[in-house]
Structure 1
Amino acid sequence: MKSITINGSKRESVGKKSTKALRNAGQVPCVLYGGGQEPLHFAAEEIAFQNLIYTPDVHTVEIQLEGGKKYNAVLQDIQFHPVTDAILHMDFYEIFEDTPITMEIPIHTVGIPRGVKNGGVLRYNLRRLKVKGLPGDLPDFIEADVTKLKIGQKLYVTAVESDDFKIQHPDNTVICQVRTSRNIVEDLEDEEDEDEVAADEVPATEVDDAAGAEGDSKE
């Protein structure tokens, strides 16, 4: 997973007056938790966080403070101004190479579903997956191949399992599905092709024959 470097300075005062002065100067007050130590308060230029916040990708963060001190962390929480959307405060959590962490990783679908070619519509239930693993093993994104999905079929999280991380969702959680639409046409594939995409070759999909199937909680 890619890392972004944030250069900051340790805060000596954390009162309201000091915090307001920081924000007026274009600085964002932050706090770093974890590591078995007291919370570390620091501040950094607001512009330094653009590539961390305003992107669909996820990153780890290397916080560099004066004196050469460095901390590896992940963004834990962020507060925005309700009117201006300016960053008011950020919380980070320190991470270590040998300690698993939990993060939400974006999903990138690959291919055009067979059902979409026949007039169906691909609907997403999840755009990110919550996974747990060592920081060095977590990917920038998770690929989900949707090529074989026919109309009425779903892609479950079990389709993207990996030895590098553990998915923190039930096995029946749906990533996406192909739904019917007004433009539906007859499947052009013959019966011989049906045998080529038998269920045992596509273990992570199933035909949505029953209404209210488990995992179809969001659309």
Structure 2
Amino acid sequence: MNTVTIEGQLRSDLGKKATRQLRSEEKVPCVIYGGADSISFSAPIAVLKPLVYTSRFQLAEIKLDGKVYKCVVKDLQFDKVTDELAHIDFMELVDDKKVIVSIPVKLVGQSVGVKAGGRLVVKMKTVKVKSLPKDLVEHLEVSVENLELNENIRVEDIEAPNMEIMNSARIPVASVVMTRQLRQEEAAEGKKK
């Protein structure tokens, strides 16, 4: 799994004035939760960009004063006016403690319904899972090869070894729908008969 290394500095001043000062230096205030105690730190915005501006599920290896923390991004906050990154919450990965994260769904294969003229519609790009840190994966693969016209693949069809999927089992992940052209062709054939 891809890991982004972040070198940060511990924060002692936690007020608004200190936070404004950090942001003026192009640093982002961050917090690590989930471990023995909460840790406040800051990191340069340039170092955080590969972790924030991506659709991939990645781990963060945060280095603070000689200690290394394995984490995942839990929450992001952006400035309402400038849309710049304002704050990040990280969840520390503890070996024997389950975490809830959103993992991307990767559709693989060419659908039978698409080959017949249908169009593949992606309805869910991520699923929420509960798992031990050692069982986390970069993405969950779902084969769409047997997907016929007007059929769905649902959350219950996703194979997630050693993970509990938190989404409702009946929610569609992807479906193959008829295109307008295919409907017109079927209607024209129906009139010929």
After TM superposition, the score normalised by the length of structure 1 is 0.79
Q: 2:88 maps to which residue?
A: 90
Consecutive unaligned residues of structure 2, counting only runs of 5 or more, are 187-193
Q: Residues of 2 paired with 1:165 and 1:12: CA distance?
A: 38
Tell me, in whole angstroms, the C-alpha distance in 1 between the residues paired with 2:100 and 2:26.
31
AA aligned to 2:14 is V
More off after superposition, 101-110 vs 68-77 = 68-77
In structure 1, how many angstroms separate the alpha carbons of the residues matched to 2:114 and 2:44? 46
Cα deviation 1:176-203 (Å, max 9, x = unaligned) = 11111122267xxxxxxxxxxxxxxxxx
Q: Deviations over 1:98-127 (max 9, x none)?
A: 221111111111112111111211111101
Letter in 2 for 1:3: T
* Shift, 1:7, TM fit: 0.5
What is the distance in 2 between the residues matched to 1:83 and 1:149? 44
**Alignment partner of 1:96: what SS?**
coil
Runs of 4+ deviating beyond 3 Å: none
Residue in 2 that maps onto 1:28:
28
CA distance in 1, matches of 2:169, 2:26: 45
Unaligned runs of 5+ in 1: 187-219
8 Å Cα contact 2:140-2:160 kept in structure 1: no
Q: Aligned partners of 1:132, 1:83: CA distance in 2, in Å?
A: 34
Counterpart residue number, 2:53: 54
RMSD of Structure 2 on Structure 1 (CA): 1.5
Say if 2:99 is the partner of 1:119. no
Q: Deviations over 1:149-190 (max 9, x none)?
A: 11111111222223231211222121111111122267xxxx
The correspondence of residues 154-173 of structure 1 with structure 2, limited to 5 A, is: 154-173=152-171
Residues 142 and 159 of structure 2 are in contact (CA less than 8 Å); yes or no, is this contact kept in structure 1? no
Task: State how far apart, in whole Å, the 2-side matches of 1:162 and 1:105 are.
Answer: 10
Residue pairs, 1:76-155, within 5 angstroms: 76-155=74-153
State the SS of the aligned residue for 1:6. strand
1:41, 1:13 → 2: CA distance?
9
Identity across the alignment (%)? 36
- How many residues align? The count is 184
What SS does the aligned partner of 1:183 have? helix
Are the aligned partners of 1:3 and 1:59 in contact in 2 as well (CA < 8 Å)? yes
